[in-house]
Structures are given as C-alpha cells and as structure tokens.
Amino acid sequence: MSENLDQSGDEGILPSDSALESVESDAEQAMDSTNIAPDTADATPRQMSRREIMSAKANQSRRNRPWILAGVLILVGIAAIPAWAFINEFVLPPREKAVRVEDRTYTRGEVVDFIRFHQRLTEEVGEQFELGASLFSSLQTISENEMAFQGAPGLGVTVTELDIDQEIRRLLGFGYITEANRTKETDVQAEEAQFQFLNRVGLSEETYREIIQKGLFRSGVRDRVGENVPLIQQQVHVYRIILEQHNEDIRNRIAQRVAAGESFSDLAFEYSVDSEVRRGGGDEGWLPAGVITQFDPLFFGLDDDGNRILPLGQVSEIVQIPDEGSFGVLFISEYSPARQIDLAPLELLKDQALTDWFQEFRSKVDVELVLNSSIADWVNEQVRVASALPTPGPDDNNIPDGFSLDESGQLVPASAP
C-alpha cells in the first residue's frame, strides 16, 4: 500500500520527460532572442518584456549617437559661416590696433571717429573733405596729440573741463559765450547744438570731449615750446615769381629787366602764372631763418669770400618751390640783422618748434602706426558712408611719401596693388 502511495505521489508531483524538454526549449529560445519569428506561418511571436524594450532602445541610441553628433556639427558649421563673416567684417575691424603711443592704443574705430569729427566740422561750413589724404594725416595727428597729452605734465601744460567746454562752444559757433556772460538760455542753445552735432556725426559725448581735450593739449604744448622762439631775428624781404615751367629764357629776361631798373613787383604781375602772387606783386614779406628751411642757405648763406650767395637786388636762378612742385625765381630787396618777426612767420616758427618737440619726444617713447591697404580701404569706406558731401580724393601733389592712389582715387600704401 505504501509503494502505491509513493508511486502515486511521484506521478502527481514530478513532470514528465516531454514536459521538461518543452520548458527547457522555451527557456533557451527566450535567452537567444527577444522576439524570434516562428518557423511556421501560424506561429505567433513572443511579447518582449519592458526591460528588453528599454535595453533595445538604449543600444539603438548608442549606435545613432555618432550620426546625430555629426549632423549637429555640420549644422553648427553651416550657421557659423555667416556669423564669422559678420564678425570678421563688422565686429573685429573696429577693434584692431591702428595707433599706439606707449600703453595707449587707438583702434580703427577710434580713427574713424576722429576723422568723422573733423569731416563733419569741415562739411558744417560747406567745404569738401579730402577723404584720401585724411587717413595718413589723421594717424599722425592722433599719435602727436597723444604724445602732447603724455608730455604735457613735464611742460606744466594743463587742460580743464572749462577749457573743453569753451572749445566746444567755439567749434559749434558759440565762441562768444564766456564764463562771464553765460546764461541759462545760451547754455540751452549750446547744448542743443552739441546734441545735434553728435547725432549727425555719430559720436558719444565722451569720445567727443576726449578728441577736443587731446587737441587742446597739443595747442598748449605748441604755445609752451613756441615761447622759446626768439622774437627778434635776422630777416630778408623776399619776392617771387612763379613760372609756368623751367624756362631759362624767361628767367634771363626777368633778370635783364631788373638789372635795367624795372620793378620786380611789376614783373611779377606780368610774368607770374600764380594769381595770388600776381595780386600781391610777388611780395612774400619779411622772412626769418627756419620759415622755408630749403631756402635758408640762399637767403642767409655766404660764400667763401663772405659775400651773400643771393645778393640783394638780383634775381635768383630757377628754383623749385617747396610743397608746390612749381618753379620760380626769387628776389631779396632788403636784409635786416635784427628785426621783430611778423605774426605769420612767427606762427610758422611755432609750428616748426612743435614739430621739433614731437621728434625729440618720439625718440623717448614707443610709437607705432599701423597702416596697410586693408586698413586704408576699411577706414575710407566707413568715412565715405558718413560723409554728407561728395569727398574727392587728393590731387597728385598732396600725396604723402610712401603712398599712392588706387583705381578708386583713395590713398593706399605705395606697395599695395
């Protein structure tokens, strides 16, 4: 009876061999694949578990990640092309260095501001602004103004806020307003004129005042070094005739008529091709040494025998007039070993004294001017856009050394194509 019970119990609890084989087969299939297609058409696939689905998506995401990253990089690169073009054309150029004096650097944008300031002042009075020559001269002026600013303390030169205010009023046509006669009404008028000017030229008030401040320091340094110019010097009374060309026959004819007793002034009216010279009878006035340095040996020089190189009352050989490119003859009517300098030549001597001071100061500091065809083109374009009047380029006689005109008439370095 016990044997029967054991057999009966075993049969009720233990699975058959075929059932075990079926379970083992299903387990192996589940481990081999999450969803294996059945061998027969009427078989149905096994449903994937949630964990298996998430694992499959993660694997697919890892496989797609490099392609997504590559696509993003391509899109960023495409978007960066116009962005870089914008930055390269509009953001970077205004910030690039153009002038440096010691640790003070002026950018291209500041050079444009400086030129626009003087451009607008010129056009405000209806005059044309010479765009081509402005870049070279502006770089020089900016560097010189900064040198004057840095060197002013050593000369005891100062500029106050009141000085800047007065200069602003003068430039805007309110120079008659002083601290003594200022009223609320005149202040309002001057402030409105300044606001309109800054709006037209596109400058901030801070930039505007700095430009004026540095210019005032330059004037102050000029006045201070000009105090060293002697007011009484040796001088000659000079006349000149401008000839149409280097013509020895005309020169000899003039010399013969002067030797015969004719007035050089009358001959200047007859022969000079320059209307201003004719109008003044060729009279250049009393000139001390240093006003026209190229002619100092001719005006004041002596030969080995102690005689004047250009005797009084005689016509010179044909000479080339400095800064004009023209030819002419000179004539000295009088000489004074000690005469007070007239105002016009005195101002020229003060300018020369300032130039000498700049040269000396430049030898003591680090000055850098950056100018190439790229900068010239960019600055000229910015200034041309801001111009209110047509701006012709310079004529050939006003082109600085080392520069030339390009096909559009703009001033560029001579080495530029």
Instruction: Give per-residue pLDDT as tens, 378-389.
Output: 777 777 655 544
pLDDT at 296: 95
Alpha helices in 175-273 (DSSP H): 184-201, 205-226, 248-259, 264-271
Q: Which residue, among 386, 409, 385, 384, has the nearest Cα to 399 in the 3D structure? A: 409
Q: 5-40, pLDDT tens digit by residue?
A: 444 444 444 454 554 455 445 544 544 444 444 444
Please give the order of strands across the beta sheet that includes 319-320: 283-288, 232-243, 327-340, 319-320
Q: 111-157, pLDDT tens digit by residue?
A: 888 888 887 887 766 666 665 556 778 889 999 999 999 999 999 99
Q: What is the mean pLDDT of residues 231-240?
A: 97
251 token code pair: 């020169």
pLDDT at 5: 40
Which pLDDT band, with edges at 50, 70 and 90, does 201 fall under? confident
pLDDT at 6: 45
Residue 413 has pLDDT above 70, yes or no: no
Which pLDDT band, with edges at 50, 70 and 90, does 194 fall under? confident
368 token code pair: 């850098």
* pTM: predicted TM-score of the whole model, two decimal places: 0.67
User: CA 295, CA 312: separation in Å to the nearest integer?
Assistant: 15
Under 8 Å between Cβ of 318 and 211: no
Under 8 Å between Cβ of 151 and 221: yes
pLDDT at 175: 83
Q: Looking up tokens 């005797």, which residue turns up?
A: 311
The overall average pLDDT reported for the chain is 79
Domain 232-340 part of CATH 3.40.50.720? no
Residue spans per domain, the chain: 96-227+370-413, 232-340
Q: What's the gap between Cα 252 and its chain centre?
A: 49
Q: 338-369, pLDDT tens digit by residue?
A: 999 999 999 999 999 999 999 999 999 999 98
Stated as kind and residue range, the H or E segment containing 98 is strand 97-101
pLDDT at 324: 75
Q: Say which residue, 138 or 251, is predicted with more confidence.
A: 251
Q: 210-229, pLDDT tens digit by residue?
A: 999 999 999 999 999 999 99
Residue 172 has pLDDT above 90, yes or no: no
Region 96-227+370-413: CATH code: 1.10.4030
Residue 163 has pLDDT above 70, yes or no: yes
Collapse the DSSP code of 326 into the 3-class scheme (helix H, G, I; strand E, B; otherwise coil) and give the result. Answer: coil
Beta bridge partners, 335, equal 236
Residues 6+ apart with CB under 8 A from 316: 298, 310, 329, 330, 331
Under 8 Å between Cβ of 273 and 240: no
